[in-house]
């Protein structure tokens, strides 16, 4: 099985003390089976921009480096939003899911990936397979 990591999973591993359950789950899933959506990368980068805007330059630099490492580690396993993904998103957007999560769910459905997230309820209605590594 292959996985699409949600933003909250990546945010968790960037914390000073990440949840052990998340680290354990990630260590057991092959890196080659871990995928990202470009939407997730955008959400992470938006977080850095907000930190900078609020004067948290030092923290922003730490997160910027962590995101660069994540991008390098995942390389060609960062999936773009395609026309097909937008078609799927349009179909599932009738559920109460925000656009970013909807595009992540549509990416998972299009590519046959399970969404790895803490926000199980956000994704269940879409029909995407969901895994909660937080326990």
**Could you report the average pLDDT of every consecutive run of 10 residues in the chain (135 residues)?**
97 95 98 98 95 87 93 97 98 91 98 98 94 95
Is pTM beyond 0.85? Reply is: yes
**Under 8 Å CB-to-CB from 130, ≥6 apart: which residues?**
114, 115, 117, 120, 123, 124
Binding residues: 6, 101
Q: What is the structure's pLDDT at 39?
A: 98
Closest CA to 38 of 76, 3, 66: 76
In contact, 115 and 109? CB cutoff 8 Å: no
Q: What is the structure's pLDDT at 100?
A: 96
Binding residues for Mg(2+): 6, 101
Q: What is the structure's pLDDT at 96?
A: 81
Question: What domains can be seen in the chain, in order of their start residue?
Answer: 3-131 (3.40.50.1010)
DSSP conformation letters of 3-23 = EEE-HHHHHHHTSSS--HHHH
Please state the φ and ψ torsions of residue 119, each to the nearest 5 degrees. Answer: -90, 65
């Amino acid at each position: 099985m292959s996985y699409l990591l949600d933003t909250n999973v990546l945010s968790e591993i960037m914390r000073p003390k990440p949840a052990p359950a998340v680290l354990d789950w990630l260590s057991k899933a092959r890196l080659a089976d871990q995928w990202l959506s470009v939407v997730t990368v955008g959400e992470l980068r938006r977080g850095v921009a907000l930190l900078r805007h609020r004067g948290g330059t030092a923290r922003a630099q730490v997160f910027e480096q962590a995101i660069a490492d994540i991008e390098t580690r995942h390389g060609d396993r960062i999936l773009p939003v395609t026309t097909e993904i937008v078609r799927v998103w349009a179909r599932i957007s009738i559920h109460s899911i925000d656009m970013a999560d909807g595009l992540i769910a549509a990416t998972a459905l299009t590519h046959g990936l399970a969404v790895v997230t803490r926000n199980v309820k956000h994704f269940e209605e879409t029909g995407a397979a969901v895994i909660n590594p937080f326990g």
